[in-house]
Amino acid sequence: MNDTKSMIKNALILFAITLVAGVLLGLVYQVTKDPIAYQEKLAQDKANQSVFAAAATFDDVSLDEAGSAAVTAEHTGVTIESIKEAKDSSGASLGYVIQVKSKGYGDFITYTVGITNDGNVNGISIIKIAETPGLGMNAEKVIVPQFKDKAETDFAVVKSGQLSDASTQIEAISGATITSRAVTEGVNGAVSYFDNVLKGGQ
């Protein structure tokens, strides 16, 4: 009998602890939800402006599901997350900001790719990355600058020190080829989506 009472008591205590923990987690989520969303929007806005400095506004463009699926099928680990049309102060279209997510060495890497209407890659801007410190985390300073003002093409990754054609090749981060390929494959996916869905306007 005492064992039964003890089991019931322990079960009630465990239930109470679980209930309190659940309520506290819910409260923490409610308190932090808006600030997190705000910070994510700031990061997105900064990334958009980084790849289209001349743009005054960025308007949402509906994602073409078939076009996005085709990119994922052709470029392993790559997903088109969202599209925005970059416009100048008069409302004229400058091109598109394509947000991409690609599978890196440690986790998914999220970044924007800016492509002008005439097919020029303005550049890329990383929003989220969690690669190996000292290796893949160097993507910001090693990979990002290499995509500045490039004619859109199918970019290929070459090992560090083996760059022979800067217009089509991206030199890998030393010791982080997987990260380098992940970012480059994502850019290729964005270029593919632009060519097949966005080129010439919707």
pLDDT tens sequence across 129-155: 999 999 999 999 999 999 999 998 999
Which DSSP helix (H) or strand (E) runs through 169?
strand 169-171
Q: Is the pLDDT of residue 84 over 50?
A: yes
Place of tokens 């969690």: 130
Backbone φ and ψ for 59, nearest 5 degrees, come out as: -100, 135
Q: Tokens for 142?
A: 């090693």
Question: Is the residue at 182 inside a domain?
Answer: yes
Backbone φ and ψ for 55, nearest 5 degrees, come out as: -80, 145
Residues of the chain with pLDDT > 90, as a percent, come to 67
pLDDT-derived band at 165 (thresholds 50, 70, 90) equals very high
For residue 193, the model assigns a pLDDT of 95
The beta-carbon contacts of 177-182 under 8 Å, at least 24 apart in sequence, are: 178/104, 178/105, 178/136, 179/104, 179/105, 179/109, 179/131, 179/132, 179/135, 179/136, 179/139, 179/143, 180/139, 180/142, 180/143, 181/157, 182/77, 182/102, 182/103, 182/104, 182/105, 182/109
For residue 79, the model assigns a pLDDT of 95
Question: Is the residue at 184 inside a domain?
Answer: yes
Question: Is the residue at 113 inside a domain?
Answer: yes
Question: Is the residue at 21 inside a domain?
Answer: no
Region 192-202: mean pLDDT is 81
Q: Is the pLDDT of residue 200 over 60?
A: no
For residue 102, the model assigns a pLDDT of 95
Q: Is the pLDDT of residue 202 over 50?
A: no
* More confident position, 42 or 78: 78
Count of domains forming the chain:
1
**Helices 65-74 & 177-193, crossing angle to 10 degrees?**
150
Question: Is the residue at 19 inside a domain?
Answer: no
Range of the domain at 191: 50-198
Region 52-69: mean pLDDT is 92
Question: Buried b vs exposed e over 44-53: b needs ≥16 C-beta within 10 Å?
Answer: beebbbbbbe
Euclidean distance between CA atoms 202 and 199, whole angstroms: 8
For residue 190, the model assigns a pLDDT of 96
